[in-house]
A and B are shown apart, each in its own frame.
Chain A
């Protein structure tokens, strides 16, 4: 039966949630939405009904968050709770009903991104975990991972630096590049920590779109068939524990010369 991380929300009958919940996680610009665009028709061709959803898309709070962020005046606790509101609305009004109807739910980010951002902004990890503890445990979380050196060209050459993605609220004295680098490095460290804690399937997102897609497909096929995870894609625990600076180099090996070929 489906479980939550701790508390269950009122009227959320866990036994009814028979669909599959698949999370695609990863930092900004790693190619999550591109992959979800490919995964959806692939799943539908096999006869699965698919719901795809993502952060800030709730009817209740999506617009409010957008407006609040434009003002750049959000406190860090406020920001975290506003996102949690958005998440709860989507969980109750989109994700749970789809799971109840037997859908495959593909979610672009989940509580892990929300928690990583909050913790990087200095909030107490125990508090952050409690706030999000009503979330449903997914059937699988695929973590698309690239080092910060690989990430920079992808972001700069597609959309440019964004105030919040660059953590400018955290490092206001830096230029966007320096701030982005610091912020995304800190986020990566949090994601790597959570990869172990929450048993993510880590997929190296530095190869071309097709290769990443094939790996995701293989992993999702296994989840849908109820097979055990392919160990090949699971990052060894020792590698996860490597220092942040080493990690970005390792992940970016041989790739820095051909940045963002897929964008």
Chain B
């Protein structure tokens, strides 16, 4: 069992992180399209998407059965399934793998939920270290505005309602995201995250991202599947 570290597989792994409303998924989608148009073999993997675990997570959330411990472990199970059956074999095969959220999401959320910081990091030590991890840094108020304008309401666990921070979901969401933001800020140095200013125009952020990704792929021309 390999520990978190630089992998030596031919593939490359790029991940995006940030609080809800930071715009990271939009940026990853734009990167995905660009890499495909450049002829790379690209595969996308999303947080909390393993079919194996889906039913259990769905039930746990719907019935609000999840505690901080089971919330943490079921997401780790989901991640492990994707790591073992998807991400690792793809990296071995030489693909460019794009992940919307990675272990840093768990580090932030689980610690805010009261799980032991060291325990959570050790829990995910089977994860492969990304080629680059982009952190979309955004002030809390900007992210809140983007989120709350765009939808009818936030979900129970998204708002951190299980923590009893506030009876009002919107207030709870605000406090919860603020705490998560703090955790992210502390991880920039700890995990050498590549910070992107998520208040800049979308095109400018994408430009920065492509430049970095291009440099990382420069040594790996053979990843291209089409000329």
Contacts and interface: CB of A to CB of B under 8 A. Distances in A.
A82 B53 contact: yes
B83 interface: yes
A44 interface: no
Sorting the interface of chain B by its residue count into under 10, 10 to 19, 20 to 34 or 35 or more gives 20 to 34
A10 B113 CA distance: 8
B114 interface: yes
A125 to B, nearest CB: 10
A82 B70 contact: no
B213 to A, nearest CB: 28
Given A9-B69, A77-B84, A130 B122 contact: yes
B203 interface: no
A64 B73 CA distance: 14
A116 to B, nearest CB: 16
Interface in B68-117: 68-70, 73-74, 76-77, 80-81, 83-85, 113-116
Interface stretch (B7-15, B59-67, B137-145): B59-67
Nearest to A91: B69
Contacts of A59: 65
A196 interface: no
B214 interface: no
Name B's interface SS: helix
A73 B50 CA distance: 12
B74 A61 contact: yes
A67 B60 CA distance: 16
B52 A68 contact: yes
B222 interface: no
A255 to B, nearest CB: 38
A130 B126 CA distance: 13
Contact of B52 (A78, A88, A91, A122): A78
Nearest to B77: A81
Contacts of B6: none
B126 A77 contact: yes
B67 A9 contact: yes
A81 B106 CA distance: 14
16 contacts: A7-B119, A10-B67, A10-B114, A11-B67, A60-B56, A61-B74, A63-B55, A75-B84, A78-B85, A81-B77, A88-B70, A89-B67, A91-B69, A92-B69, A123-B1, A134-B119
Given A9-B68, A63-B55, A64-B53, 19 more contacts: A9-B67, A10-B115, A11-B114, A60-B60, A61-B56, A64-B56, A68-B53, A74-B52, A75-B81, A75-B83, A77-B1, A77-B84, A78-B52, A81-B76, A85-B70, A85-B73, A89-B65, A92-B69, A134-B69
